[in-house]
Structure 1
């Protein structure tokens, strides 16, 4: 098997993934050496992970396919945050539908959970309850998960992908699914990636965004509704510093703190005051001073420089956190939380971490994904509690990762 290596990892300070976001400086700050990212949260469809500043990893929510990585053969899921002791030296975590991917400080990538479409990238289609290394991939600087596909950025700025490919979301010019990484065609100097259910976007170091895959609702932002198997440039968009994807919509953050959106908008997830789909980017006029963005399936999130969180879109389960179940086509403030540094959106729930690493969650809670010990939906934020230390799960995987 061919080994994919990109030379010595040269990490930038912050990366953005599907459904997650972390505190971002509006200035470019290359890191001389890579330490842990700022504390962050990551959300899958119905499971979550949090990474603390000392490298401690916690998981909670659904575990139907082993996506929590805690080697629980009963796959009962967790209603509180459980420490994953054997996950060490983790730089970042991204969550897909029922699987999880971790980027380690040494640039290696590990994955676990559902593998029906080869999204774990280990050359098989076998599920794994514990992390397995993608052995032919190294010196990676960023990762992202879609519904059933995974994307990674190499230190040389190339992009690699694997998993489901029905709509060309792997960007290799085919619609053949892959269980090992293949290179995305025609892209260079990429710094960040994000994934929707079946589309992918990439941010280049010149602030321009490229996209490929499913385009039924204009989520590629190229002015058409024609799906693409190779990258196309998103039109009328520049100076972008972060990207995020919902199921079939895309959002981008400009260096001036403004937010731009395109794609599906039936629930108001574009935040432009309408429910009209957009095939090209449109600015959200009601929000400024944004430093991070994130998406759930049909809702969007923004973190402002003052530490407040704003949301818009679908709200059937309270995922907007505004104490209602009413969708909003304009940004509304999430009440009761402040000093937030990281945000993430799941299927129909949202999570946030504040500066003291307290995790808050709201919305759908059928698998305990809010981490409050219940299965009751919440329309305002509740604290995601840590399970008692003696109940932490250990991974038996031939030693620590």
Structure 2
């Protein structure tokens, strides 16, 4: 009997294991089908012309205007397609100033790059005038729970509900020497969020209250020392679930879905309700604009600096689950499929190509990885995506592929007022593809004119060349996975 019971128990256990494995396999297959294995953004921020995003695998990508090194790739070269920021892991939040970027990791440590944090590096043989420093760890910030970046001062909210404000200071005898100074904000306790507007810090408490404290000493033209802070003044007693600010304007999200507005630089005694706004779930700000996520998954925008402007729905944004703002004209959102979208009137939105200032949402592209003849390569310059096609500068993959690039000049063209145009030639394996950069461009293969529709756009301060066209005409294999960003060129050993 005992042997029989053991045999039955063994059979039951085997069946359960088989069912469990089958279920796990089914779930894994479902994830693969639904694309759930793809990384999703957990935090996004924008400066005056760049974007930065943290993903659920702990990595960080950045894109856009890069004159101050805010992309974090060690250069001052603008990037149309996002690049992964090396040296960052386990990141849970990103933030941005006008020309700076910040990242917070799960341990509560903070990293900064761009502008003052990434100074110029002279003497680099590849980038003699465009090399920038790397990441800077803000050693004065520990156990940080969230970041709020402002033109008037940046604030770190600690895990225990206290807060620290910091700013960059410079040696009067040597302006290139930058020091970060930290000022604990006395009187801030039990805070869940904090923003800076003008000389004031607005503190959202965990009980839904909002208080205000002056953080800047206008008499001495510096931030207040810890001994100079006064008591936190109450602004709203309760019911607030969200807070956002830009410059002197502060916006408060009430739990009933309405929005309150207050300007710290006026004699306005209390926040007032914004007419026409209801069912709001989340609020963020940009340059004189308020971005709002409604409970129905739609996104609305209010350019509040214009007295005649009214809130409007952003077309093309539905099924949205999270929202982020910037220091410029760009907003960011993630949809139910985990895709990151950007919209606004700025050029660099991570779509791979300069937008047309039309405000329409665009998909933020994944970073590109490059494999040439089985070897991974990287290059400083930006790549581009024009009309769904991949473009690269000549200082990119051509040398690694063995393609010889040459620049010449065409004969005077009577169709264009006897004007001559630059002609770029790409030679490989006895074949040559030439592109005359007229309008429209003329493509020649081994000296014969073709009917190919192409161009040589000037993007990110350089000429861009149609990679797919060139490699196909030269007989070089190429594949581009638009979901993962993996580009494979040439043969695989």
User: How far is 1:300 from its partner?
Assistant: 0.6
User: C-alpha distance in 1, partners of 2:179/2:115?
Assistant: 15
Q: Does 1:300 align with 2:250?
A: yes
- TM-score (normalised: structure 2): 0.48
- RMSD over aligned CA atoms reads 3.7
User: C-alpha distance in 2, partners of 1:349/1:327?
Assistant: 22
Contact 2:186–2:229 under 8 Å retained in 1: no
User: How far is 1:230 from its partner?
Assistant: 2.8
User: How far is 1:163 from its partner?
Assistant: 1.5
Give the aligned partner of residue 235 of structure 1.
186
User: C-alpha distance in 2, partners of 1:391/1:381?
Assistant: 17
Matched residue of 1:123: which SS? coil
User: How far is 1:259 from its partner?
Assistant: 1.3
Contact 2:200–2:264 under 8 Å retained in 1: no
- Runs of 4+ residues over 6 Å off in structure 1: 387-391
Give the aligned partner of residue 341 of structure 1.
281
Give the aligned partner of residue 313 of structure 2.
383
User: C-alpha distance in 2, partners of 1:242/1:392?
Assistant: 30
Residue by residue over 1:263-317, the C-alpha shift from the partner in whole angstroms, topping out at 9 and shown as x without a partner, is 589xxxxxxxxxxxx96563343452111111112201111111211111189xx
Q: Does 1:205 align with 2:145?
A: no
Give the aligned partner of residue 138 of structure 2.
184
User: C-alpha distance in 1, partners of 2:202/2:35?
Assistant: 29
- Which structure dedicates a bigger proportion of its chain to helix? 2
Match of 1:159 among 97, 110, 114: 110
Matches within 5 A, 1:2-401: 89-165=40-116, 179-197=133-151, 199-213=153-167, 229-246=180-197, 249-263=200-214, 280=230, 282-286=232-236, 288-313=238-263, 328-363=268-303, 378-386=308-316, 395=365, 397-398=367-368, 399-400=482-483
Give the aligned partner of residue 322 of structure 1.
none
Q: Which sections of structure 1, spanning at least 5 residues, go unmatched?
A: 1-53, 57-86, 169-176, 216-226, 266-277, 316-325, 366-375
Query: Relative to structure 2, which stretch is displaced further, 242-251 or 136-145?
Result: 242-251
Contact 2:210–2:236 under 8 Å retained in 1: no
Q: Which sections of structure 2, spanning at least 5 residues, go unmatched?
A: 1-33, 120-130, 170-177, 217-227, 319-340, 342-359, 369-481, 485-493
Residue by residue over 1:101-145, the C-alpha shift from the partner in whole angstroms, topping out at 9 and shown as x without a partner, is 111111111111111211111211111112111011111011111
Matched residue of 1:165: which SS? helix
Contact 2:185–2:215 under 8 Å retained in 1: no
Distance 1:140 1:88, change over 3 A: closer
Matched residue of 1:385: which SS? coil
User: C-alpha distance in 2, partners of 1:233/1:139?
Assistant: 26
From the CA coordinates, give the structure whose radius of gyration is larger: 2
Contact 2:69–2:76 under 8 Å retained in 1: yes
Matched residue of 1:131: which SS? strand
User: C-alpha distance in 1, partners of 2:264/2:181?
Assistant: 30
User: How far is 1:228 from its partner?
Assistant: 7.5
Contact 1:297–1:346 under 8 Å retained in 2: no
Count of aligned residue pairs for this structure pair? 266
User: C-alpha distance in 2, partners of 1:95/1:240?
Assistant: 24
User: C-alpha distance in 1, partners of 2:197/2:35?
Assistant: 27
Distance 1:364 1:98, change over 3 A: farther
